[in-house]
Amino acid sequence: MSAPLENLHEAMSVIDAAWADADGSSGLGRSELLSVNAAIGSARRALDALQARVAAGIAHESRPELGAESLAKQAGFRTPAALIAAATGVSTGDAARLVKVGEAVAPRVDLVGERMPAKYPSVDAALSGGMLGAAASAVIVEFLDRARIGRDAGEVVDVERRLVERAAGLSLDDVRRLVTRAQALLEEDRLEAREEERRAARSLTYFEREGSFHLTLVTDVESGAPIRAAIDGYVTAQFQARKDAEDAARTGAGTGDHGDDADAASDTGAGVVAGAASDARAGADADRRSVAMMRADALALFCGHVLGCDTPGVPVAGATVIVRVNADDLQSGIGHGTIDGADQPVSITAVRRMAASGGVIPCVLDTTGEILDFGRERRLFTRAQKLALVERDGGCARCGLPPHMTKVHHLAWWKRDAGPTDLSNGILLCESCHHRIHDNGWDIRIDNPPGTSVGTATPRRRRGTGVNIHAGVWFIPPAHIDPTRTPQRGGRARYDIAA
């Protein structure tokens, strides 16, 4: 029996057993829900592996040179993708991608009839072993097909292997992010040219229809960075103002302490949120706005401020654009940098341009700078410490939300554990993940680069010089979620192939 069939049978046995034991009146318990959900995922990936191979077979039997003997045409369809889409209920685009995956992992034959390995053997092994599904495999295969042109075959094989290793267990969104980082590694010499292409294609269109103003903006990542930072800063300030108003309504006094693990960076926005707080208290409408509504309000507010220039303060919660780059890359002019909150890397040329702009903080690694460790001398993490931790965590170390939506929290609590306000004791988490981890019994471990067991070492660093960005961030689930308590990778490394 093939590996996909074995995986499918094993997953179905778990599902059958859970359903057989379930009480018809109350359904599945929490542990059964988790095991069945995992089994469904395993079954889906096993079916994906089988379906990809069947799709490749259908495509082979429907190749154009067969003419009227084409399998798809005999079945009444113009293309094999249309045949597969009709049978599975997916779009023809998804069916075409399924065919591409099947062809990429199918055994090949050379001109003399000798059998050859699959085009992408690592993808083949991961798909057959149930580590990857068809959608994630398609993203990787499409990238490798583009990247292999003009590249050394060994380099492509190495990137394929590293991509597959990192992609296992990731969501499709994170696989796409992973591929974006891999593209920067393989195509650094093309990055600047592609940025110019995107910049040349920038556009802003707007029109009025049925009483609404429609606006569409398309621009390069470099130009979009300050737009994103300003608008997201406004949204952050609005949510903080909403929370402050709710706290004041409950206590009848000020907002008080933000808690044991509050980030000092949030205090920097205290002055500028005053206007937002009055907005939030003005009526129920402010409290009910969605994020999309707040973004629209932000753009209108900023444009109105530019026209009038008499607004006393615009609430953006200390919004800043942070551009990060390796010192050696910056000096040589070869490599790439990243913008906090953006997946797409930028060229060194773009980094240099942005570093010369106002409102942009260039963060150059491996250089001396501000002292970042304060031990027990202060309780709250500083803004500089948060910027340093972004190098390791990327944003929320658990769910990946961008840095401006996170706070620095103590691993060893300040009050309960007398934990220091040092980088080695800090982690970036959004409010939701912070509460989920504390409420549900998750543990967090920070370890050294590969070769050190989880939780047994302190990241190597010198006091005052920063954080070890290569340290691993691991989330340990409670036993009721995973009886083996297998560590789950967190931080930037979970989707950054260069980590």
**Secondary structure (DSSP) of 243-265:** HHHHHHHHHSS------TT-BHH
Residue with tokens 């370890």: 447
Cβ 226 vs Cβ 359: under 8 Å: yes
pTM over 0.75: no
Query: Going by DSSP bridges, is the β-strand pair 360-365/321-326 parallel, antiparallel, or unpaired?
Result: parallel
- For residue 401 the two structure tokens come to 């939300």
Query: Going by DSSP bridges, is the β-strand pair 321-326/336-339 parallel, antiparallel, or unpaired?
Result: antiparallel
Rounded-to-integer distance, Cα 424 and Cα 411, Å:
9
Q: What is the pLDDT along the chain (499 residues), one digit of tens a residue?
A: 678 888 888 889 888 888 777 664 457 788 888 888 999 999 999 999 999 999 999 999 999 999 889 999 999 998 999 999 999 998 999 999 999 999 999 888 777 778 888 899 999 999 999 999 999 999 999 999 988 887 788 888 888 998 999 898 888 998 998 898 888 777 777 778 888 888 899 999 988 788 788 999 999 888 888 888 888 888 888 888 888 777 777 776 444 444 444 444 343 333 334 444 444 444 444 457 888 999 998 888 887 777 666 545 545 555 567 777 777 777 777 888 887 767 778 888 877 776 655 556 666 655 443 434 445 445 677 777 787 788 788 889 998 888 878 888 888 876 667 777 777 788 998 888 887 887 788 888 887 544 333 333 333 333 333 556 567 889 998 888 888 888 888 888 777 665 4
Rounded-to-integer distance, Cα 350 and Cα 345, Å:
10
CA atoms in the 13 A half-sphere facing the CB of 427? 30
Cβ 358 vs Cβ 343: under 8 Å: no
Rounded-to-integer distance, Cα 293 and Cα 342, Å:
21
Helical ranges in 61-120 per DSSP H: 71-74, 80-88, 92-105
> 284 Cβ partners below 8 Å, 6+ apart?
none
Q: Residue 218's beta-bridge partner residues?
A: 203
Residues 491, 492, 494, 498, CA torsion sign: negative
